Structure 1
Amino acid sequence: MKITKSVKAMAVTAIAASMMVSCEKDATANFTPEESREISKEVIAKITELHYNPNNVEKRMITDIDGSQEEMYVIEGDILMSYDQLMGMELHGGIRNKQYRTNNIVTATNIIRVVGYTGNNQFGLSNTAQTGLRYAVDNYNNENLSIRFELSFGTIWGPNDILVYVDNSINPSPNQSSGIAGFPRNGYPFTRVRINNRANTGESNQQLEHLLAHEIGHCIGFRHTDWDTRKTCGENSNEGVSNDGLVYIPGTAGPGGDANSIMNACYPFNTDGEWSHFDRVALNYLY
């Protein structure tokens, strides 16, 4: 088919290493380290309270495709959150029933418009990336979820559309991620998926299918499946603050993980870009 595709939030990207491709990070535009970029104790405490990893959090000025800027926090390498979004997020009912319940899911709409940017400039998706995006969106719609994705390509997008485009400020080195996204805001999906030019021009349509399905997964509220080890990246680190930092969706793999999940932290070079069995269980449970 193609190559490089809790909460009510879970996690579903995949694996890396010589044949491991980093999932998603960012080194977004015009970031200058300075004193104002230090992370406050208040922010670290809130990240810890929400059971995200408080280590290596970065504060960056993110420049959007339209030139606007917003200061945001990069959490766990590939999740973007603004201060207001982060401080307004709560654990509704706490952690229970094998769900990690927060307010970061899509509740305000059942139609999610995705726009692949095709402008004739450095932001435009390659033909291969456009194919990968089609495959990724088809894979969501083939699950007959309560939400449905409408895909188009062009240079015009609306305020709640997910815009997918190339961001050349994302570091293309082997140890950096290929893309970055964020969690839903106010019941709507996160509205930006950025991939770097290495992925845009150097990866196959199946690898891009995997990458883009993963990033869209974050946009609708999913976290990494292997959050507890990041073993798909060749690591042994925990994105949560303790063993109960993230509780799995009922019926999914649980401890030990799912080596084939689209939402693993990194993905293999030879990925087929398709959902694993447990990815489907999680998608259908959440939506």
Structure 2
Amino acid sequence: MKKNLKRIAIVAMVALVIAACKKNQESAETAPQETVKNADKVLQYIKDLGFPASSIVDNGNEFVVEEDILFPKDMQIPAGGAGTKIEQYYTGSIVSATKKLNIRIFVDPSMTSMSSEINSAIAQWNGVPNSTLRFSIVTTAPYDILIKNEALAAPPGFVTCGQAQFPSGGSAGALVRINKTAIASNSFAQRARTICHEFGHCISFRHTNWAAQGESTATNVPGVTGTDALSLMNGGQCNSGATVLSQKDKDATAALY
């Protein structure tokens, strides 16, 4: 009897181990499949926004569009997909009414040498009249945006000075990458301009000069239309563009936030 009980116990343990292994194996197999499924949804979302397939670059865990706009493959697709929202400059989501009041930025050690430039960029967005949008620096988690230094790939003959994510799920775009090597020789104002520009993407702004850049159609903020040579959000100007937010930049920010 004892021998039979022992055999039963051994069989039960083996079955449990096999079941556990199978469960772990299934989980391991399922996770990548879910990631792939979400990546497919993100890719379709980008296309639905009007970006041509030729402008979408698969960069491992993310898609890159227009050289400096990032779409993580695990991002949350905004409710309603890519439907145009009349209160937004861009057809994706903006930062929620509560989170816009304090967008927390964590400065990676790789970017501490440009802390002054980061603070200058923050001061510009925080100083927009009639806007409740506020950025702040935090030294520990939790935070909303990570800003870090990274060597950024670019097509031959081009330089990518920065990249950033758009808002998702009511939160600001979670990542800003700055190519410090590319902007090291620029003036202080131009370095701060690059950082300020990328923060602009984090709160939903597209390139103001999207048409001249040959980029996909962007939606203007109601009441703030037309091109603007003075816009800090003009693309392709990381070492020669405007170093302060233009009046239209401020008007658009006040309209959204």
Asked whether the equivalents of residues 180 and 215 of structure 1 are also in contact (C-alpha less than 8 Å), the reply is yes
Secondary structure at the residue paired with 2:230? coil
Q: How far apart, in 2, do the equivalents of 1:167 and 1:149 lie?
A: 22
Aligned twin of 2:75 = 85
Aligned twin of 1:286 = 256
- Cα shift readout 1:246-283 (whole Å, capped 9, x = no counterpart): 221123242xx111111111226454510111101101
Any gaps of 5 or more consecutive residues in structure 2? 1-35
Aligned twin of 2:106 = 115
Secondary structure at the residue paired with 1:139? helix
Secondary structure at the residue paired with 2:54? coil
Counterpart check, 1:124 vs 2:111: yes
- Greater share of residues in strand: 1
Identity rate, percent: 29
Mapping for residues 195-234 of structure 1, pairs under 5 Å: 195-230=178-213
Q: How far apart, in 2, do the equivalents of 1:186 and 1:95 lie?
A: 16
Aligned twin of 2:19 = none
Aligned twin of 1:137 = 122
Q: How far apart, in 2, do the equivalents of 1:206 and 1:172 lie?
A: 26
- Greater share of residues in helix: 2
Q: How far apart, in 2, do the equivalents of 1:99 and 1:112 lie?
A: 18
Any gaps of 5 or more consecutive residues in structure 1? 1-36, 62-70, 231-236
Mapping for residues 22-37 of structure 1, pairs under 5 Å: none
Asked whether the equivalents of residues 234 and 241 of structure 2 are also in contact (C-alpha less than 8 Å), the reply is no
> What is the TM-score with the length of structure 2 in the denominator?
0.73
Number of equivalent positions: 217
- Structure 1 residues 201 and 114 mapped into 2: Cα distance closer, same or farther (>3 Å)? same
Q: How far apart, in 1, do the equivalents of 2:154 and 2:90 lie?
A: 32
> What is the TM-score with the length of structure 1 in the denominator?
0.66
RMSD: 2.9
Shift of 1:44: 5.2
Higher relative contact order (CA 8 A, sep 6+): 1
- Structure 1 residues 209 and 222 mapped into 2: Cα distance closer, same or farther (>3 Å)? same
- Structure 1 residues 162 and 81 mapped into 2: Cα distance closer, same or farther (>3 Å)? same
Q: How far apart, in 2, do the equivalents of 1:175 and 1:210 lie?
A: 19
